[in-house]
Chain A
Amino acid sequence: MYDSFLIRSDSLENFEENGKVAGFKFSVRIANYRGCFLGLHNGYYCEVDGVSYPREAQRLAVNGKPPRSFEELMKHAVLEHWDMQDEAFLYVYKEGGLEKGTHRVGILESILGAYGSSPRDEEYVKNPPDPSLGIGTGKTSVVCYYDLELQG
């Protein structure tokens, strides 16, 4: 769903921490029709110029709050909802950030919301599936790619 619209084309920027460029960020929209409780958000498969960045390097800034790790969302955002209409920002840690120019960014979300119980629920609690496995992809089951010009 919304495959060409999950990232806003003018949203890719580097970000700083303690006066140094610590990584890059871009906007993200949810690929479903109902939003989700943020505790169910299991991170993204995120690839930039052919290099993938694991969930541990990612933070999500949503609902006007500072960027939070997916571990923190899982633990403390159980009843905090990401509404379908709202844009969030995915922060990705990469020392020095990205260089000027155009970058090919691919993402696939992993959100563990469900219509009902699944035999794998217990397993997913013990070991949250890696977002690259394509579990919890909502209504977009393929990695969506965007050619984005670094802003700023």
Chain B
Amino acid sequence: MGIKRGVSLYSYQQEEWFGRMTWREELKEVATNLDGATGIEIISEATIPHFPFPGEEFYQEWNFEMARWGLEAVTMDVFPDPLMFRRDHVMNEREQAERLKMELRIAKKMGFKNLRVLGSEIKTVALALPLAEELDIRINQEIHFPSGIRRGKGQFGGKTMDILEYIEKTGTKHYGFHPDFGIFKKGPSPMYIEYYFRTAGEEHWKEKSADFIEHFNASTNEEELTKWVMDTYPNVFNDPMILEMEFKKASAQAEDLKLIAPYIYCCHGKFYQMTEIPGKPGEYEEVSLDYENPIRVLKEIGYEGYIDSEYEGQRNQQDRGLEFMADEIEEVRRHHKMMKRLIGE
């Protein structure tokens, strides 16, 4: 046993959007080209045709294809869309729980063991828990950047700790966590920074991006860095949200995982770009995220669940022609080479 590797089909969103791959080809890719990956994660409405009414044939075909390739249905990601009934009202708690229950029933038919929620409140999840227990599917709160794990100033883990208290108080085995590796940020992703410079219409965006990253990595003072950036590149980083996201350092530390260790049921191996490690042909790294320490900690705590690749670099390479777009298949393959190395398979 040990940590298992899987893929969220979200990673292949661009291939799907352009009609070059369907979920069937994606399952085959995961099963045959990732050297032992066995897990599949989906976003329900992205993968299931005519969601939420795909017809029985879809479920049969899905289960057949999963069995054919020897794959395990790990996690289904769902969204609450509280404005679904906006024609007359905002969804109330009970309606949000009903939407969750609908997703649980669909997940069961597709063999999934986990549901990933992000914005759902504890009281909503609590209303859906009896059905989750009956179907034996866990509802897991994603811990997504800029959220964190610990409570306290500069820690961003308030909701995580509230859920932990709820789990420990009730003893439920069907509510847990789904940390996303995006919380273990090391620095800016060069690919992202290049995108900001490029779409702001800056010439020499590659050089300017490199200059930005050099300053970022050398800086120990967030305020000084922000001032330098605002003075030097006022047209590029004028969106407060970009500033907030790009200037925040990691929102959690690898060791924080120990706090929620028994309740981690799945992880997102978020990544933006895999690049070859200098001097090591065929070996890859994600320079903007810490993978080594979180994987070390997951091993220490005896985690035997999945890390599912969640590739998200494609959207910041779509501002130019098709020839400049990311190769999602290659990125995921590289990601699995890295995970395999770090897990020590």
A-B contact count, CB below 8 Å? 99
SS class of chain B's interface: helix, strand, loop or mixed?
Answer: loop
Interface size, B (range): 35 or more
- Name B86's contact: one of A79, A81, A83, A112 (CB within 8 Å): A112
Could you say which residues of chain A place their CB within 8 Å of the CB of B80? 114-117
Interface segment, one of A16-24, A27-35, A46-54, A88-96: A27-35
Contacting residues, chain A, for B89 (C-beta < 8 A):
125
Contact yes or no, A81 B45, CB < 8 A = yes
- A75 in contact (CB, < 8 A): yes
Contact of A2 among B49, B50, B51, B318 (CB under 8 A): B318
Give me the interface of A with B, judged by CB distance under 8 Å.
1-5, 29, 33-37, 39-40, 74-75, 78-79, 81, 83-85, 112-118, 121-122, 124-125, 128, 139
B246 → chain A closest CB, angstroms: 16
Knowing A33-B10, A34-B79 touch, does A115 contact B118 (C-beta < 8 A)? yes
Tell whether, in the assembled complex, residue B19 and residue A85 are in contact, meaning their CB atoms are under 8 Å apart: yes
Chain A residue nearest in CB terms to B53: A79
A81 to B, closest residue via Cβ = B51
B84 to A34, Cβ gap below 8 A?
no
- CB atoms of B318 and A1 under 8 A apart: yes
Tell me the nearest residue of chain A to B142, going by C-beta: A115
Are A34 and B45 in touch, CB under 8 angstroms?
yes
Question: In whole angstroms, how far apart are the Cα atoms of A84 and B51 in the complex?
Answer: 11
> Is B50's CB under 8 angstroms from A40's CB?
no
Contact across chains for B81 and A113 when beta carbons are under 8 A apart: yes
Contact B90 A83 (CB under 8 A): no
Residue of A nearest to B88 (CB): A125
Report chain B residues within 8 Å CB of A1: 315, 318
* 0/1 string, B30-70, CB within 8 A of A gives 1: 00000000000001011001111100000000000000000
B16–A78 contact, CB under 8 A?
no
Q: Contact check: which of B43, B120, B318 meets A116 at CB < 8 Å?
A: B120
Q: A139 contacts B50, CB within 8 Å?
A: no
CB <8 Å contact, A84 and B87: no
Q: Are B87 and A74 in contact (CB under 8 A)?
A: yes
**Residue on A nearest B83 in the bound complex, by CB:** A112
- What string of 1s and 0s marks CB contacts (under 8 Å) between B107-142 and chain A? 000000000001111000000000000000000000
Instruction: A120 to B332: give the CA distance in the assembly, Å.
Output: 37
Decide if A139 touches B90 in the complex (CB within 8 Å). no
Q: Counting CB contacts under 8 A, is B85 at the interface?
A: yes
Q: Is the CB of A122 within 8 A of B10?
A: no
In the complex, the answer to whether A139 meets B121 with C-beta atoms within 8 Å is: no
Of the A-B pairs whose beta carbons lie under 8 Å apart in the complex, a sample of 12, sorted by A's number, is: A1-B318, A4-B321, A34-B45, A37-B84, A40-B84, A74-B87, A78-B85, A84-B17, A84-B46, A113-B81, A116-B118, A117-B80
What is the bound-complex CA distance between A104 and B13, given in angstroms?
Answer: 28
